[in-house]
Amino acid sequence: MMTIGFHTDAFNSAYWSFERCLDWAQCHRVSRIECGLIDGVSWIHGLGYQPHVALYEDPVLLGRKMERFGVRFSQVDAAFPLSGEDGPLRGVPYVMKAIAWAAQLGCACVDTTDGLHRPEGMSDRESLAMMQRSYAQILRVAEAHRVIVNIEPHGYFTTNPDTMAEMLAFVDSPWLKMNMDTGNTFIAGRDPAAFLKRFLDKVSHVHIKDVSESLARAVRGGQTGIAVSHCALGDGVNADNIRECLKILRNSGYRGVLSIECEGQSGPMIEKSLDWLRQTLADLGIPAQ
């Protein structure tokens, strides 16, 4: 059985609070949620206009609140780009803090990635060597807390399957995995199904994201990631690739979370996406929670 979830960035433009996202999840029978983590204080978050969670919030108390809605975290997002010169200074402490915080909540995964572009002032080899040192530090903390660190294809290195393979081998650890993203791999000019097949044994979490025809025509092959897709699942040019990825996951025995990523439009677009995903899973004979 696979489990359906969603990323709260669907409601960034609606200026929802995290609690309102919990309410939406409960109303639509979605038991898994994913959000970004904020390391510090943000006025827009403090006023209740941002659907993410700050690390100053007590994880145990937050977990109790989520239990009342019948919702758990599938993953938390600590995807500060680790490939640039700020990676060791800003990104590594942020990810390590996120791991310890997630462990107290019983959250299984923390998401990480690289930058969208080739890092300035460094060669590819220099950046990869720096990231290897960073992930070595991060994985020591992850192993101690028994939290999976996922690498998401979202940037210059991670949407290239050869350098993604190198990054997934940075540390020989069962706690270093991959968060597959159907939209980012497609917009980077890759075949999502082929990308998934190559790393199938490393996948622990999946982002399901479609791509509009207009966006694909404008930037496919020239961009490595999508902040959030302004396209409901099934309405874009990536729908057939998503179906193929779901078949691959079904045949491999994947039992993890399928996290919807799309613009919510205060509900309608993500509701349409949820209906499409549920129907597609049923059509493919995949039991879903």
Report pLDDT digits (tens) over 179-215: 999 999 999 999 999 999 999 999 999 999 999 999 9
pLDDT above 90: residue 230: no
Domain range enclosing 197:
3-283
Q: Where are the alpha helices (DSSP H) in the chain?
A: 18-27, 43-46, 59-69, 92-105, 124-145, 161-168, 182-187, 192-198, 213-219, 239-252, 268-283
Give the residue-averaged pLDDT of 250-269.
96
Task: State the total domains in the chain.
Answer: 1
Report pLDDT digits (tens) over 34-68: 999 999 999 999 999 999 999 999 999 999 999 99
Note whether residue 116 is domain-resident. yes
Report pLDDT digits (tens) over 119-128: 999 999 999 9
Closest CA to 272 of 215, 227, 229: 229
Note whether residue 248 is domain-resident. yes
Burial 157-183 (b: 16+ CB within 10 A, else e): bbbbbebbeebbebbeeebbbbbbbbb
Determine if the pTM surpasses 0.85: yes
pLDDT at residue 227, as a whole number: 82
Note whether residue 15 is domain-resident. yes
Note whether residue 240 is domain-resident. yes
- Domain containing residue 115: CATH number: 3.20.20.150
d(CA 91, CA 73): 21
137: burial class by Cβ within 10 Å (0-12, 13-18, 19+)? middle
- Average model confidence (pLDDT) for the chain? 97
Q: Give the single-character DSSP code of 2.
A: B
pLDDT at residue 228, as a whole number: 81
pLDDT at residue 138, as a whole number: 98
Percent of the chain with pLDDT over 70: 100
Side chain identity, residue 45: H
Note whether residue 62 is domain-resident. yes
Note whether residue 288 is domain-resident. no
d(CA 180, CA 248): 12
Closest CA to 234 of 223, 226, 246, 224: 246
d(CA 35, CA 215): 24
DSSP notation for 183-243: HHHHHTT--HHHHHHHTGGGEEEEEE----HHHHHHHTTT----SS-SS-TTSSTTHHHHH
pLDDT above 90: residue 241: yes
Note whether residue 161 is domain-resident. yes
- Residue 229 binned pLDDT confidence (cut-offs 50, 70, 90): confident
d(CA 47, CA 225): 29
Note whether residue 289 is domain-resident. no
Q: Would you mind telling me the total number of residues written for the chain in this entry?
A: 289
Q: At what angle do helices 124-145 and 92-105 cross, to 10 degrees?
A: 20
